[in-house]
Amino acid sequence: MTEGNFTDYIKIHVKSGHGGKGSAHLRREKYIPKGGPDGGDGGCGGHIIIKGNKNFWTLYHLKFKQHFKAEKGGDGGRQRTTGKDGADVYIEVPLGTVIKDTNTGEMLGEITKDGQELIVAKGGKGGKGNWHFKSATNQTPRYAQPGLPGEERDLTLELKLLADIGLVGFPNAGKSTLLSKLTAAKPKIADYPFTTLKPNLGIVSYRDGRSFVIADIPGIIEGAAEGKGLGHYFLRHIERNSNLLFLIPADADDITQEYQILLNELKKYNPELLDKKRILAVSKADMLDDELEAEIKKDLPKDIPHIFISSYTDKNLDKLKDLLWKELNSE
C-alpha cells in the first residue's frame, strides 16, 4: 500500500432498482373465454449494499467508480407469474468504514467485520397483479399496481483505520522510521515536517507467530482539533486504535509539555480518546548517555508506562514490542 493510493474519504451516488409492474392480464384460453384475472406481481428492485472486505485497506478502488445503480424488478406475467427480482449491487469496503448520508449528515452505519452487510438503498417493491383485486363486485379487474420507485441518495464513506496501536506525535518525531523498523511497511521518510500525508499501516511480527497492527498517524500540530493543518483528517483515525503510542524525540525542548499538548488536542477532538491506554516512547535515545536519560526520566509523566528507544540503533525496540503486547493484552 503506497501513500499515493491511500484513500480514506470518498463520495458516491447510489440508486436502487425500481419495482416491476404488476400484470393486468386476463386469462383467455380455448374453452375458457372468460377465465378471470391472472396477472402476476412485479419483482422487487435490487438493493445497494455496502459489504465489509478484510482484504481491502483503502477506499481507493472507489475513486474512479462513484455511481452505482441496481437492476429494476421484472414485470409480472400471465398465470400469476411473478417478475424476477432485480440484482443487488454490492460495494465492498475496508473494515472501519463509516457510511453517512451526504445531504443530511445522518450516520447510516459502520462496517467493522468481514462480510458484514448494510443496505444503504432499498429496492422498490413490485406492484401487485390484478388477481389481487378480484372481488364479488369486480370479477375482472383490468388494472394492477405499478412498482414502487427505488431510493436514490448521495453517500460519504470515511475510513477510520482499525489498528491495535496508533502512533501519535508531532511531525518529524520519527514515527515513520519506527514503523519501518517494527514492520515490513515502507512509509515515505525524510527529514522535514509532514513527510507523511496519509496514514500507514504495518503488521508487527511478535513471538510464536503472533502479531498486531500498528498505524502511523500523520503528525499532529497544535490546533489540529480545530482543523488546523489537516487535523480532522488525521485525528479521526486515532478513534479506532485500542492503544496509543506517543512518540516524542529526546531532543525536544520539553518532553512532558509536548506530551500534554498532544493529549490536549486529542481531548478537544474527542474526550473519549483519553480513555484509551497510552504508552510514551522517547525516540532518538541514542543521543543520550545513562546520566542524561536518568535526568529526563525524573520529569516524565508518572501515570503511563514509558520507554527510551532509538530506531537508528534499534535500542529497546524488542522491549517496546514486549511492552506493546503486554498493554494490548492487559485488562
- Beta strand 107-111 pairing with 67-69: unpaired
Closest CA to 67 of 159, 158, 155: 155
Per-residue pLDDT of the chain (331 residues; tens, 9 = 90+): 334 445 678 999 999 999 999 999 988 777 767 778 999 999 999 999 999 998 887 788 888 889 999 999 999 998 899 999 999 999 999 888 999 999 999 999 999 899 999 999 999 999 999 999 998 888 889 899 999 999 999 999 988 766 788 888 887 777 878 888 887 655 444 444 444 445 677 778 888 878 788 877 765 654 444 444 444 455 666 676 778 899 999 988 889 998 998 888 788 877 888 888 899 999 989 988 888 888 888 888 888 999 999 988 989 999 999 999 998 887 6
Q: What is the pLDDT of residue 76?
A: 95
User: What is the Cα Rg of the chain in Å?
Assistant: 29
Is residue 133 a contact partner of residue 141, using CB atoms and an 8 Å limit?
yes
Which domains are present in the chain?
1-159 (2.70.210.12), 165-328 (3.40.50.300)
For residue 82, give the nearest of 163, 18, 21, 4 by alpha carbon.
21
pLDDT, residue 199, reads 64
Instruction: Compute the C-alpha angle 213/219/221, nearest 5°.
Output: 145
- Is the pTM here over 0.75, yes or no? no
pLDDT for 136 equals: 85
What region, left, alpha or beta, does residue 96 occupy, with left being phi > 0 and alpha being psi -120 to 50 degrees?
left
Contacts of 307 (CB under 8 A, 6+ apart): 279, 280, 281, 282, 316, 319, 320, 323
The C-alpha cell that represents 284 in the structure block: 532518538
Please tell me the predicted confidence (pLDDT) of residue 305. Answer: 92
| Contact by Cβ (8 Å): 277, 202 | no
C-alpha cell at 221: 500540530
pLDDT of 229 reads: 42
Q: How far apart are CA 24 and CA 80, in angstroms?
A: 10
Query: Quick one: pLDDT at residue 185?
Result: 52
Other C-beta atoms lying within 10 Å of the C-beta of residue 86: 26
Per-residue confidence (pLDDT) for residue 230, from 0 to 100: 44
